[in-house]
Structure 1
Amino acid sequence: MTHRLRPVGHEFVRTAPVRLVFEREISASPERVFRALAEDVAGWTEWFGPVTPARPLDDGAGREIRLRGGTRFRETVLVAEEPEVYAYRVDVTNAPGARAVAEEWRLAAAGTGTRVRWTLTADGTAPFRLVLKTARPGRGRAFRSAATSLDRRLAR
């Protein structure tokens, strides 16, 4: 069963009740990383392990994402400021208990590469928030693996 979430703006990334922040440096430039995030949505399946199909919608203003295990998201892009920020919110999902979800990818030059910071933010029922907080270590591993895979992919 899918349900519509509360439509939040970019400020939700700073004010959400649940904020999971992960950071890693990679060797690719901020411009290349930004293009992989914002312009090559279908390519996410190549580097972000949990993502199965991903496709842009509405000429890049939205996205449809599916994860291993069956979770689905329809998203709206909130910010696409090359090469620094790419953020989106979830509008519709089948994740039980979710009320609002937004993610931000913030990129900053770091030497000859990029410091990538991924912020996953959410609000929902108490069990949903607890599950998300408990899943932090796994989300961190998934992010580190994704950043490494993205860096390898962009080096090709």
Structure 2
Amino acid sequence: MAHRLRPVGLAFTRTAPVRLVFAGEMAAAPEAVFRALADDVPGWSDWFPAVRSIGLIDEGAGRKVRLAGGTRFRETIVAAEPDELYAYRVDEATVPGVRALLEEWRLTPVGTGTRVQWTWAADGNALFRLLVRLSRGALARVFRGAVTALDRRLADQSSGQDGRRARDA
């Protein structure tokens, strides 16, 4: 059963009791990365391995997400600054112990590519905070895999290929 989380804003990325920050570089330009994050929301399931389904809700102001393993989130988009920033907070979650959660994707031009920084800011009970800290390595691997897959997808799209990975290959 989903439960409501405390609403937080962008400042939470600096004040959250648990902050995990990951960064990587992509060959794709910030414009293409931002479009993939903010405009092609259903496409997340093609490049972010944990996402099974995702879609916009509330006339585009929010997202409904289902992860591998059955975890579900209902989110509100809190920032969508073209080519620079995409952030959302979780309003409802099926995760026990979580009280607040916000994810921020910050994009910075690097040559013709993009530096992507993903901040995962959270609050929860002591067990939740401990489990998140212990999951840092796994989340880092998920982030690296997602950035690599998204970069490949965007390169395929710019070269005229579909960019979708084969399902049930």
Aligned to 1:30: 30
- Distance in 2 (CA, whole Å) between partners of 1:150 and 1:33 is 8
**Which position in structure 2 is the counterpart of 1:87?**
87
Q: So what's the TM-score if we normalise by structure 1?
A: 0.99
Equivalent residue, structure 1, for 2:58:
58
Amino acid at match of 1:113: G
How big is each residue's C-alpha offset from its partner over 1:33-88, in whole Å with a ceiling of 9 and x where there is no partner? 00100111100000000000000112221001111011110000000000100001
Q: State the SS of the aligned residue for 2:56.
A: strand
2: distance between equivalents of 1:16 and 1:70? 25
Q: Give matches, 1:113-152, under 5 Å.
A: 113-152=113-152
- Percent identity over the alignment is 61
Aligned residues: 156
Q: Deviations over 1:70-124 (max 9, x none)?
A: 1110000000000100001000001000000000000000011000000001000
Unaligned stretches of 5+ residues in structure 2: 157-169
Gaps of 5+ in 1: none
Larger radius of gyration: 2
Distance in 2, Cα, partners of 1:59 & 1:28: 28
SS in structure 2 of the partner of residue 10 of structure 1: coil
Give distance in 2, aligned partners of 1:79 and 1:59. 15
Alpha carbons 1:47, 1:149 under 8 Å: kept = yes
Q: Are the equivalent residues in 2 in contact too, given 1:39–1:60 (CA < 8 A)? A: no
Deviation at 1:10, TM superposition (A): 1.1
Q: Normalised by the size of structure 2, how large is the TM-score?
A: 0.91
The structure 1 segments of at least 4 consecutive aligned residues displaced by more than 3 Å after TM superposition are none
Amino acid at match of 1:80: A
Secondary structure of 2:150's partner?
helix
Question: For residue 67 of structure 1, what is the aligned residue in structure 2?
Answer: 67
C-alpha contact (below 8 Å) 1:104/1:120 kept by paired residues:
yes
Q: Is the 8 A contact 1:16 1:122 kept in 2?
A: yes
Coordinate RMSD, CA, aligned = 0.5
